[in-house]
Amino acid sequence: MPDHSFTSPSSNTYSESTFRDVIIIGAGASGLMCAATAGYQGKQVLVLDHAPKAAAKIRISGGGKCNFTNMDISSENYICQNPHFVKSALSRYPSSAFIELVERHGLAYEQRELGKLFCSERASDLIQILRTECDWAGVEVQTRCAIQQLSYEDGLYRLTTSQGVFQCAKLVVASGALSFAKLKATGLGYDIARQFGLNVIETRPGLVPLSFAGRWQKRFGELSGLALDVSVTAGGRSFNEAILFTHTGLSGPGILQASNYWQAGEPIVINLLPKKDVFAELLALKKQGASLSKWLQRYLPKRMVQQWLEWYPLNDQPQPDMANISDDSLRHYGEQLMNWTLYPSDTAGYDKAEVTLGGVDTDEVSQKSFEAKKQPGLYFIGEVLDVTGHLGGYNFQWAWASGVACGLAL
Ligand SMILES: Cc1cc2nc3c(=O)[nH]c(=O)nc-3n(C[C@H](O)[C@H](O)[C@H](O)COP(=O)(O)OP(=O)(O)OC[C@H]3O[C@@H](n4cnc5c(N)ncnc54)[C@H](O)[C@@H]3O)c2cc1C
């Protein structure tokens, strides 16, 4: 077999290499889950990670409390070129299975809005559970281990690393994606996929704030820190969640969700008064001759209303006489409030993105075992794949479910 190399060989040479049944690259959410599962199956498992500590993303996720799963999970909560791909693993390892695992370890957790489950104390409690499972399953975890070269010969994978040379029959790539490079995120998994001739779908930041240029950046900066409960639509998907004004644009859960569906050059549409019969209420205001500003303040913060009326004065009047506004103008104004159409200039990039859209093409791997169809013994799990969840614990659930499905198949 040819020797596939993605970097030049290390100057270090080792006369001997260490053999393990399974080597997993990446001691993150999916890698640790897969390792424990395979270890319990009696496999000798070694996990290699270049970071100083395992599972850095779990530690900081969910504001330090890790939103580790959701009570309501379906394939609808995921973006993938093959929308059916996630179904098998998610149905074999549903959120109830992960909840059962953490309850067995006595983790205190709480349910928040929209079915999100968080640790009650610290996300590090969850890392401890995964580490304990790995210990019980006899898994070795080697951190500060930089992967320098990978080759495949005679059915064996050979990894040259800063900690020595390792060989295995089965190699699992659980190295995650590009978001948050400061937590040691890299594109190694994509390089390995390409090395073995697998297609990688173009990546872009997801669950990310959106930036604005020019006057909108200035306007949003003036409202920085203000949050609104609205509905946001991008690319045909709508989310009823809060948005937050920032110095560079818009953030908050509604915007992060919409960012997964937003494409450069496309608009986002915000309904400032979701679930309200806006036109009927405006007609009632007209009948009463009541104040537009006061009516808006029933639903929106005063600062927002003041700015809004400056940006969009009704009939060019800061304090319009409602009794004299035509029904057509009112209808048009209502539309403006319900379909506030904005054009972001960009996203805030991978450094601020919780996830990466795109990745290893799921057509290249088995949805049951996660083994590459063209390359025996090579597996891809977690976020390195072209699978991205919505905000709300869906990304971790994908890491757990793909890790377990692969671990059982090794
Ligand atoms: C700030 C933030 C908050 C988040 N909050 C949530 C949340 O609350 N709920 C949720 O569901 N999802 C959340 N996510 C997303 C979630 O963290 C990821 O989807 C999940 O961790 C992916 O798991 P993984 O195992 O695929 O990759 P990771 O957990 O990222 O693990 C990959 C591992 O591979 C290692 N690695 C990378 N490159 C190399 C290399 N070249 N050599 C050796 N090792 C390497 C890394 O050090 C890391 O340990 C959040 C993400 C971020 C950035």
More confident residue, 316 or 154: 154
Tell me the per-residue pLDDT of 178-190, one tens digit each, with 9 for 90 and over.
999 999 999 999 9
Distance of CA 326 from the midpoint of ligand 1 (Å) = 55
186 and 241, same structural domain? Answer: no
108 and 51, same structural domain? Answer: yes
Give the pLDDT score at 8: 36
Give the pLDDT score at 321: 86
On whether residue 403 sits in a domain, the answer given is yes
| Residue 163's CATH number | 3.50.50.60
Tell me the per-residue pLDDT of 87-107, one tens digit each, with 9 for 90 and over.
999 999 999 999 999 999 999
Tell me the per-residue pLDDT of 191-237, one tens digit each, with 9 for 90 and over.
999 999 999 999 999 999 999 999 999 999 999 999 999 999 999 99
Task: Over range 305-319, report the average pLDDT.
Answer: 88
What percentage of the chain exceeds 90 in pLDDT?
Answer: 92
Whether the predicted pLDDT of 320 surpasses 90: no
On whether residue 11 sits in a domain, the answer given is no
260 and 232, same structural domain? Answer: yes
On whether residue 85 sits in a domain, the answer given is yes
If DSSP states are collapsed to H, E and C, what string results for 19-66?
Answer: EEEEEEECCCHHHHHHHHHHHHCCCCEEEECCCCCCCHHHHHHHHHCC
Distance of CA 183 from the midpoint of ligand 1 (Å) = 8
Query: Which residue, 348, 365, 388, sits at the end of a domain?
Result: 348
Nearest CA to ligand 1 atom 50: 354
Whether the predicted pLDDT of 343 surpasses 70: yes
225 and 180, same structural domain? Answer: no
Task: Over range 241-256, report the average pLDDT.
Answer: 98
On whether residue 342 sits in a domain, the answer given is yes
| Residue 283's CATH number | 2.40.30.10
On whether residue 8 sits in a domain, the answer given is no
On whether residue 1 sits in a domain, the answer given is no
8-state DSSP, 299: H
Nearest CA to ligand 1 atom 52: 354
186 and 40, same structural domain? Answer: yes
pLDDT grade, residue 298 (50/70/90)?
very high
30 and 159, same structural domain? Answer: yes
Distance of CA 229 from the midpoint of ligand 1 (Å) = 29
Whether the predicted pLDDT of 6 surpasses 70: no
221 and 317, same structural domain? Answer: yes
Tell me which of 6, 10, 32, 57 to substitute to probe ligand 1's pocket, judged by most ligand atoms within 8 Å of the beta carbon: 57
- How many separate domains does the chain show? 2
H helix intervals, 137-229: 188-195, 214-222
Contact between residue 409 and residue 399 where contact means Cβ atoms under 8 Å apart: no
Contact between residue 402 and residue 382 where contact means Cβ atoms under 8 Å apart: yes
CA distances (Å), 173 to each of 81, 90, 245, in order?
Answer: 20, 19, 38
Whether the predicted pLDDT of 84 surpasses 50: yes
**Cβ-proximal residues to 308 (8 Å cutoff; 6+ apart), any chain:** 272, 296, 300
Contact between residue 170 and residue 183 where contact means Cβ atoms under 8 Å apart: no
Whether the predicted pLDDT of 13 surpasses 60: no
On whether residue 4 sits in a domain, the answer given is no
Which protein residues are within 6 Å of ligand 1, measured from CB?
Answer: 25-31, 49-51, 56-57, 60-62, 66-67, 147, 174-176, 179-180, 184-186, 188, 354-355, 382-384, 393-396, 399
What percentage of the chain exceeds 70 in pLDDT?
Answer: 96
Enclosing domain of residue 276: 209-348
d(CA 57, CA 354): 9
Specify which residues 161 forms β-bridges with.
Answer: 147, 164
130 and 51, same structural domain? Answer: yes
224 and 107, same structural domain? Answer: no
246 and 282, same structural domain? Answer: yes
Whether the predicted pLDDT of 317 surpasses 90: no
106 and 91, same structural domain? Answer: yes
Query: What does the mean pLDDT of the chain come to?
Result: 95
Tell me the per-residue pLDDT of 127-176, one tens digit each, with 9 for 90 and over.
999 999 999 999 999 999 999 999 999 999 999 999 999 999 999 999 99
Nearest CA to ligand 1 atom 51: 354
267 and 142, same structural domain? Answer: no
For the chain, give the longest Cα–Cα distance: 90
On whether residue 9 sits in a domain, the answer given is no
d(CA 266, CA 270): 13
